[in-house]
Amino acid sequence: MRILVAEDDDRIAETLTTSLKKAGFGVERESDGEVAWFRGDTEVYDAIILDLGLPQIDGLTILKRWRAAGRLTPVLILTARGQWEERVDGIEAGADDYVVKPFHVQEIVARLRALVRRANGLASSRIAFGKYLLDLRTMEVTSDGMPMELTPQEFKLVSYLVHRRGRVISQLEITEHIYNQDFERDSNAVEVLVARVRKRLGADVIKTRRGFGYALGDGY
């Protein structure tokens, strides 16, 4: 899942980035409000963490601009302790959730997972597909209670396709959403990754739409 972290405090941003990457998210960070607004307006993210106190353009203004332009990306706002007015303003402007500083990173991770699930019509962190069960908390895929051996990238691919069940996903979208920003994009990387997942979970778990991309297989 591709996450934008818009936070100007380097310490907080580093903590978030490190922890979210460990949790399986692809993370990109911006500290300037104007740049953060532009990226959220022109690029596709699965969710955005937005600090309200950004320089150049404040977070509340950014959020209002995104919603006015029809950008529906789930947004979790960060706000200072005790400033309940900011929380109310943020929610009324279109925020999907908020967390008060200082915070526990585990709470951010859990709330982000919930935002992404709800945005894709999923209620639980444990999602069944075919004979398999995807567990977002343990980052495992199991069959009859037995964990399948998947690498982190293989798990990310399966998770992304499960969240978008019924859709065909292009190679470019897969690359942007499951790899980190500094990944050197090899034209064959996604094809190799898909082949590995098919070998582990079955050839029919991912279907190819020639010229369009990949989708979760029929029956999954």
> pLDDT of 30-72, one tens digit each?
999 999 999 999 999 999 999 999 999 999 999 999 999 999 9
For the chain, give every residue range classified as CATH 3.40.50.2300. 2-121
DSSP string, 28-69: EEE--HHHHHHHHHHS--SEEEEETT-SSS-HHHHHHHHHHT
pLDDT in tens, 131-175: 999 999 899 999 988 999 999 999 999 999 999 999 999 999 999
Burial class (CB in 10 A: 0-12, 13-18, 19+), 116: buried
Q: What is the CATH number of domain 126-216?
A: 1.10.10.10
Burial class (CB in 10 A: 0-12, 13-18, 19+), 187: exposed
For the chain, give every residue range classified as CATH 1.10.10.10. 126-216
pLDDT in tens, 166-209: 999 999 999 988 887 666 666 688 999 999 999 999 999 999 99
Q: What is the CATH number of domain 2-121?
A: 3.40.50.2300
pTM above 0.95, yes or no: no
